[in-house]
Amino acid sequence: MPFNTVLTRKLGIRVPVVQGGMQWVGYAELASAVSNAGGLGLLTALTQPTPEDLRKEIRRCRTMTKYPFGVNLTLLPSLVPPDYAAYAQVIIDEGIKIVETAGNNPGPVIQQLKKAGIIILHKCTTIRHAKSAVKLGVDFLSIDGFECAGHVGEHDITNFILLSRARQELGVPFIASGGFADGQGLAAALALGAEGINMGTRFMSTVEAPIHHNIKQAIVDAQETDTALVMRRWTNTTRLFKNKVTEEALKVERESKTDDFSVMAPHVSGKRGREVFINGDKDFGVWTAGQVIGLIHDIPTCAVLLERIEKEALEAVSRTRSLYNDVPASKL
């Protein structure tokens, strides 16, 4: 077991790699494959229409892995919010040991889960939000840089700055999220003070990700310049895969005479985005991907991916060591 970080120790995993929550992707097939491969797989609670469906999905995942896996619970602004407390209760009842929380106003849910002794990994894009989460007693932070897929926040701070700020300021173990796909990235994150990494987009392009092959291939074919930032005008900036629909959405965002979100809503429909993963037409709706698409060139199994990441990280560390002249072993 080459890695020994707070994350691997506390979660009982071999490789310090978490598969971040992913709406319409984070089902049992992927979460169990990541956990079986030595990382931490996460089910995404809101891919399940009701808390009872989440219970079934947790049970299904248990039949697919004997290793620990967690659940992501994302709190997003919504006119009719899901019953977060009921989802959290199912997570507690089903004996899940770790939850990734993300989004707005996570206090009540974190409190509910912490009371049950659950380890909380809270994901955020600013040091200010990270500090608020520390006050809520979270166990780990997942620091999501501007490179990341999905909600990037409004400050556009990339991980080179954000991770070092986390190291300087937080005093709570953190993992690095956004822009990671390989072991060189893992080694860099560990060097910057992180206890591991979180990956989203990279796991979409794996054999076990339960999405259409065309979308995995679209990620392989894409470059780091193929994402677009949409919805800044509504302070809800989201990084999406660049396609026909994001071009239309950006045009509406630029040219609309009104700030009324109803002009934008049809262009960023989550329903059509979900359909993309099923029908394999990358231009059917908007879907999320990070700048890391430029680093993804294949569709491996999760086991092959994590083995490769493990090996590359070790090679990167020994390469770095070899760049120091005559350092006595006692000083290393």
Q: How many residues comprise the chain?
A: 332
> Using CB under 6 A, which of 7, 22, 75, 313 touches ligand FMN?
22
Closest to ligand FMN by CB, 8 or 74? 74
Residue 270, both tokens: 């989550």
Q: Is residue 195 near ligand FMN by the rule CB under 6 A? A: no
Closest to ligand FMN by CB, 216 or 319? 216
Distance in angstroms (rounded) separating the CA atoms of residues 306 and 127: 29
Amino acid at 177: S
**Cα-Cα end-to-end distance for the chain:** 20
Q: Is residue 201 near ligand FMN by the rule CB under 6 A? A: yes
* Neighbouring C-beta atoms of residue 240, cutoff 10 Å: 23
Q: Select from 80, 79, 162, 181 the least CA-distant residue to 123.
A: 162
CB 198 within 8 A of CB 21: no
Distance in angstroms (rounded) separating the CA atoms of residues 41 and 44: 10
Number of residues that bind ligand FMN (CB under 6 A): 29
Task: Name every residue whose Cβ is closer than 8 Å to that of residue 322 and which is 6 or more positions away in sequence.
Answer: none
Subset of residues 110 to 139 that bind ligand FMN, contact rule: CB under 6 A? 123
Subset of residues 281 to 320 that bind ligand FMN, contact rule: CB under 6 A? 288-290, 292
For the CB of residue 36, give the shortest distance to ligand FMN in the complex, in Å: 19
Scanning 82-90, 111-119, 142-150, 217-225 for contacts with ligand FMN by CB under 6 A, the matching segment is 142-150
Q: Is residue 199 near ligand FMN by the rule CB under 6 A? A: yes
For the CB of residue 287, give the shortest distance to ligand FMN in the complex, in Å: 6
Binding site for ligand FMN (CB under 6 A): 20-23, 25, 44, 72, 74, 102, 123, 144, 147-150, 177-180, 198-202, 204, 288-290, 292
